[in-house]
Structure 1
Amino acid sequence: MSVLLLGQSLFYLITGLWPILHYPSFAKVTGPKTDVWLLCIVGWFITIIGVVLLAAYFLNEVSTSLFILGAGAPLMLAGADIYYVSKKVISKVYLYDAFVEIVIVAAWLVMWFAGKMTSPFH
């Protein structure tokens, strides 16, 4: 569980802060954006999710709420990636992010089913 929390939190901190701290390199990889302000807001949301997951890692706290956040956030991000790539709104490079997000969801489910955490629905 600790590897999952640390890995996901660092991934979210890096990917959340990247467009905020250096938009030119982010745009070079993902394609230019028309609403940079919105990109920054999403970046801040992803960053705060990373902060919460990192706090849970250091405090060794796993709860139902953390499970919902840890598995729900990547599920929603993957869904958005896949949907907007299919509509040709964003670059196909976002499918790589969708893949990583799906792996994270799968890892949370494996931890739950393997009994590495208490049931998220107790």
Structure 2
Amino acid sequence: MRASTVARLQGVFNIVGGLWPLVHMRSFESVLGPKTDRWLVYTVAGLMVSIGGSQLSAASQETTARHARFVGAGAASTFAAIDVIYVMRRRISRMYLLDALMEAGWLAAWAVSARRSIR
């Protein structure tokens, strides 16, 4: 898969995931559990939308897709680590493990695109 394709797909994923709590916190909390620090949820949501927008912008040219790969892999690594660590500590719902699996999928897709760009 090309880096620009992964950037577009992950960009949309991050924008949709970031908009969800901003648009409808009640459904977000019904799936992922109640939040005591909503300001933090809103902060992360805004960052996800920004990251997604950056990825969509970078995907428009193959030369900037490397930037999207760096942003995408960094975001996926961070989100997956936080998901796993805080589920294990029982601070957040086990539903976050589904997100960790998605983030691992993004890391795999970025690895494939990196190998493809070397050829």
TM-score of the aligned structures, taking structure 2 as reference length: 0.91
Aligned residue identity for 1:82: V
2:117 maps to what in 1? 115
2:69 maps to what in 1? 67
1:102 to 101, 104, 113: 104
1:46 maps to what in 2? 48
Q: Does the CA-based 8 Å contact 2:83-2:96 persist in structure 1?
A: yes
Relative contact order, CA 8 A, sep 6+: which one is greater? Answer: 2
Shift of 1:18: 0.6
Q: How does 1:9-48 map to 2 (within 5 A)?
A: 9-48=11-50
CA distance in 1, matches of 2:110, 2:71: 10
Q: Does the CA-based 8 Å contact 2:8-2:55 persist in structure 1?
A: yes
SS in 2 for 1:66: helix
Q: Does the CA-based 8 Å contact 2:14-2:49 persist in structure 1?
A: yes
Shift of 1:104: 0.2
CA distance in 2, matches of 1:39, 1:51: 18
The aligned length equals: 116
Q: Give the alignment's Cα RMSD to 1 decimal.
A: 1.5
Q: Can you give the 5+ residue segments of structure 2 that lack an aligned partner in the other structure? A: none
Aligned residue identity for 1:97: D
